[in-house]
């Protein structure tokens, strides 16, 4: 049984793990955009923990860029045909 509660819901419904997608979603923006989106300040380059995010946001002040890359888990649910 999976440790993650949301994955457990799918597991209980009969879903099987297909694979982990380490870079399923990526969000890139300027440092100012990330500061606006998160209501945080990023005074120097580095990795920052953002509340609610699954992974840290990487800030590069020299390039004026912030990047967030989120993993995902793909599961397959059984599909039955109604008669």
> What pLDDT digit, counting tens, does each position of 7-50 carry?
999 999 999 999 999 988 999 999 999 999 999 999 999 999 99
Distances (CA, A) of 61 to 7, 32, 58, 67, 76: 36, 10, 10, 11, 40
Q: Is the pTM of this model over 0.75?
A: no
pLDDT category at 80 given cuts 50, 70, 90 is confident
The domains of the chain are located at 5-76
């Amino acid at each position: 049984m999976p440790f993650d509660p949301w994955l457990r819901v799918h597991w209980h419904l009969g879903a099987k793990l297909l694979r982990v997608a380490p870079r399923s979603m990526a969000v890139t923006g300027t440092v100012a955009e990330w500061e606006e989106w998160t209501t945080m300040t990023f005074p120097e380059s580095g990795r920052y923990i953002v509340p609610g995010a699954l992974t840290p946001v990487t800030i590069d002040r020299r390039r004026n860029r912030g990047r967030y890359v989120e993993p995902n888990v793909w599961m397959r649910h059984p599909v039955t045909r109604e008669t």
